Structure 1
Amino acid sequence: MIEDSTVAAQTRVIGKLRPQIKMSAWGSRTVLAELTGRPSPAEQPEAELWMGAHEAAPAGIRGTTLDALVARDPVAALGPRVAEHFGGRFPFLLKILAPQTVLSIQVHPDAEQALDAAPGTYVDRWPKPESLVAVTDFEIFAGVRAYADVRRVVESLAVPELSRMVDDVAGSRAPVTDLLVNLLRAPASEQDVLVRGVVSACGSGLSGPDAAAFDAVLRAAEQFPGDIGAVVLLLMVHRVLEPGDYIFVPAGVLHAYVRGTCVELLANSDNIVRAGLTPKPLNIDELLRIVNTDREMVPERPTPGRVHSFPVDVPHFQLHVVEPGEGAIQLPGTDRPRIALALHHPVTITCGDTRLELAAGESCFLGAGECAATVSGDGTVYLATSGMAN
């Protein structure tokens, strides 16, 4: 049990963060550099900006790192109830994602699945539900289509081999799941025929409601020639989120982010199982063990007012967006650990007698119960908190 202490009660836990940049070929050489005020273009593609305490890339703060600061006094940083619930570990991870090419088809485990997996399957023992809010138009595939919709899409493509596979599962209790299994476990020669047929059909100038999805499939196939993932995308729901749109992606939901810029908030985990469209290792057996093809993804638009607080059904995190306006406004979540990220323009965060000036792209950490912090300025603040209060 983690116990409160007089030292914790006297400790001030507040300060600017030094985020970690994650490089990847699917990232951008300009987006993160420009959002954070650094020279552009960057020398390498920058895919993610991490603001959190994950062991793989903890943010710096006040001469140390956020994970070390939390470990030194979890009650001061997280508050007693959150520290107790999560065993003293920081519960969430805030990121900016900047994919310019498709980010692998993937799924993440829930808490039980992460613990039950074979040794070596995951890099940590935590679940990884996610949420995101679009900063620019953000193209994604998230969740799977109903069987009738899959049949309609496949019929419009008129690829005989794929049509037969769709017909073969028509009487199944879980036809889309069975179709996914059959695609991912098909022999390489059959996968090659399917991919060539789908690429030819998607590139034939088809119109109608699925034209944008077909274009995205075609781009994915060009980026990863011969990858069955391009066919798997046809089973998934294609969307282009508008700036401000929010979506929650629970553990188990199949998804692939295509291009754009978003702020992502997730549980403090880096557990990923990939099914395709990536040079990284795949784990088809584990993906099929944990995938959930029944969960529907429904984007949410911001609520009226300066503060938008998006609901989640997990205790690890909650995302709030604070828009600029006249005068200072109080930040939500005083009784929770918080990370505040400023975008587009500078902001000033005032916490008691402490003033933090955040330039666009800068972030800070506010410990639980630190103060009733306020924000002012022309920037938009993306505020990450735990999903549970102290």
Structure 2
Amino acid sequence: MTTPSRVIGKLRPQIKVSAWGSRTVLAELTGRPSPAEQPEAELWMGAHEAAPSGIADTTLDRLIARDPVAALGPRVAAHFGGRFPFLLKILAPQTMLSIQVHPDAEQAVDAAPGTYIDQWPKPESLVAVTQFEIFAGLRSYDDIHRLVESLGVPALSAKVAEVAGGPEPVTNLLVNVLRAPSDEQHVLVRAVIAACGQKLRGPDAAAYDAVLRAAEQFPGDIGAVVLLLMVHRVLEPGDYIFVPAGVLHAYVRGTCVELLANSDNIVRAGLTPKPLNVDELLRIVNTNREMVPERPTPGRVHSFPVDVPHFQLHVVEPGEDAIQLPGVDRPRIALSLHGSVVIRCGDTDLELAPGESCFLGADECAATVSGRGTLYLATSGLANS
């Protein structure tokens, strides 16, 4: 008989309430009464100190602290100092989130005291559950020049021309926009919004429309201009995108499953009433990384590529025949959506209803899954073997 899992149990996720969330999406996905009393923006499944998930009679962070090697496996426990390496979420934005960027490991440690909540990097990835609208990464200088000339805002064209031919033109353009005096920013925002309203046809119409919606939500905010410098996309269900530390991004609307390093470090660049930290943003931003969505691979199990040791995302499509889960020797969190599944690990059977999740500690248990739900499986990117 297969050795039973050392650590396996259902999680009690944490719901994050925010004005940009939905009163229906998370409630319906998790089988709770809808509409909810407050707009629910995020469902957290993990061990971050700010909102650890419950498990049995404790919380996941405390359970791991009792025996990190049993929960994480020896190599993962050693590499991450006994700390759980990733955080799984469902995001349900109905209105736009702030424009954000996150630090890498070295930047988080080297930042001025008080800049960040923790000392971890925050690379992210997501897979769209519905159509999911985002801005991710910055356009090339040539594409920015094309778009701005088409838009026909002289003040913005002047800023684009000012950095032409110099080193890092996109970075310097971002500096010029974000560090412009407030009265100049207000004039620029008004001119850009007026021009976008006249350009709702053609190849950039969807981006202009998103900028107009952002400006309605945050009147006068310079973030509307920053969005024009970014790549606009609408991901289809099943599309996956990896957002490394340093990449500017803004999530607009839709529903996605997000997997990220176990951190809540954020630097904002606009579209928020919260403070901006322009100096820190410009210290850590990467203006050259291209964001390329990936479609699911053929077959029932889709294992998306990983560039970091903290996490890897897998999606298992529905099926009545049991199929082995990836990540046999890694810590895992499994989330079922759109139907129930049964996870079998040794002599333990665990049924997950739609919206339920569980934690599986690292061991030699070849866990399997079957059922009508879609399983989103988060593992560490680092194996113990």
TM range (shorter): over 0.9
- Answer whether contact 2:200 2:209 (CA < 8 A) is retained: no
Q: TM-score, normalised by structure 2?
A: 0.98
- Measured in 2, the distance between the counterparts of 1:10 and 1:126 equals 33
- Measured in 2, the distance between the counterparts of 1:169 and 1:91 equals 40
- Aligned partner of 1:27 in structure 2 is 21
Decide which of 235, 243, 246 is 2:237's aligned counterpart: 243
- Aligned partner of 1:181 in structure 2 is 175
Shift of 1:325: 2.0
Decide which of 186, 210, 214 is 1:192's aligned counterpart: 186
- Aligned partner of 2:110 in structure 1 is 116
- Aligned partner of 1:135 in structure 2 is 129
Shift of 1:202: 1.0
2:70 is the alignment partner of 1:76:
yes
Shift of 1:176: 0.8
Shift of 1:273: 0.3
2:343 is the alignment partner of 1:376:
no
Taking a change above 3 Å as real, the CA distance of residues 178 and 256 of structure 1, as seen in their structure-2 partners, is: same
Decide which of 270, 276, 282 is 2:276's aligned counterpart: 282
Quick one: which amino acid aligns to residue 363 of structure 1?
S
- Aligned partner of 2:227 in structure 1 is 233
- Aligned partner of 2:53 in structure 1 is 59
Q: Kindly report structure 1 stretches of 4+ aligned residues shifted beyond 6 Å.
A: none
- Answer whether contact 2:124 2:258 (CA < 8 A) is retained: yes
- Measured in 2, the distance between the counterparts of 1:239 and 1:25 equals 23
Shift of 1:225: 0.2
- Answer whether contact 1:349 1:373 (CA < 8 A) is retained: yes
Mapping of residues 232-381 of structure 1, within 5 Å: 232-369=226-363, 371-381=365-375
- Measured in 2, the distance between the counterparts of 1:24 and 1:288 equals 27
- Measured in 2, the distance between the counterparts of 1:321 and 1:11 equals 21
User: Which shifted more, 370-379 or 50-59?
Assistant: 370-379
Shift of 1:10: 9.3
Quick one: which amino acid aligns to residue 182 of structure 2?
A
Decide which of 159, 162, 173 is 1:165's aligned counterpart: 159
- Aligned partner of 1:4 in structure 2 is none
- Answer whether contact 1:306 1:323 (CA < 8 A) is retained: yes
Q: TM-score, normalised by structure 1?
A: 0.97
- Measured in 1, the distance between the counterparts of 2:4 and 2:12 equals 24
Shift of 1:157: 1.0
- Measured in 1, the distance between the counterparts of 2:24 and 2:360 equals 29
- Answer whether contact 2:5 2:365 (CA < 8 A) is retained: no
Shift of 1:312: 1.1
Quick one: which amino acid aligns to residue 57 of structure 1?
A
CA offsets per residue over residues 31-85 of structure 1, 9 Å max, x none?
A: 0001000111111110000000000000000110000000000000000000000
Q: How many residues were matched structurally?
A: 382
Q: What SS does the corresponding residue of 2:95 show, helix, strand or coil?
A: coil
- Measured on the aligned residues, the alpha-carbon RMSD in Å equals 1.1
- Measured in 2, the distance between the counterparts of 1:172 and 1:246 equals 34
- Answer whether contact 1:339 1:366 (CA < 8 A) is retained: yes
- Measured in 2, the distance between the counterparts of 1:18 and 1:139 equals 28
- Answer whether contact 1:11 1:76 (CA < 8 A) is retained: no
Shift of 1:141: 0.3
- Answer whether contact 2:330 2:383 (CA < 8 A) is retained: yes
Shift of 1:206: 3.2
- Measured in 2, the distance between the counterparts of 1:10 and 1:144 equals 48
Q: What SS does the corresponding residue of 2:252 show, helix, strand or coil?
A: strand
- Answer whether contact 2:4 2:345 (CA < 8 A) is retained: no
Q: What SS does the corresponding residue of 1:319 show, helix, strand or coil?
A: strand
Q: What SS does the corresponding residue of 1:84 show, helix, strand or coil?
A: helix
Quick one: which amino acid aligns to residue 373 of structure 2?
G
Shift of 1:382: 0.3
- Measured in 2, the distance between the counterparts of 1:31 and 1:156 equals 38
- Answer whether contact 1:14 1:370 (CA < 8 A) is retained: no
Percent identity of paired positions between Structure 1 and Structure 2 = 85
- Aligned partner of 1:45 in structure 2 is 39
Shift of 1:326: 3.9
Gaps of 5+ in 1: 1-8
Taking a change above 3 Å as real, the CA distance of residues 10 and 360 of structure 1, as seen in their structure-2 partners, is: closer
2:10 is the alignment partner of 1:16:
yes
Quick one: which amino acid aligns to residue 167 of structure 2?
R
CA offsets per residue over residues 280-324 of structure 1, 9 Å max, x none?
A: 121111000000001000000000000000011100000000001
2:59 is the alignment partner of 1:103:
no
Shift of 1:11: 7.8
CA offsets per residue over residues 227-270 of structure 1, 9 Å max, x none?
A: 00000000000000000000000000000000000000000000
Quick one: which amino acid aligns to residue 38 of structure 1?
R
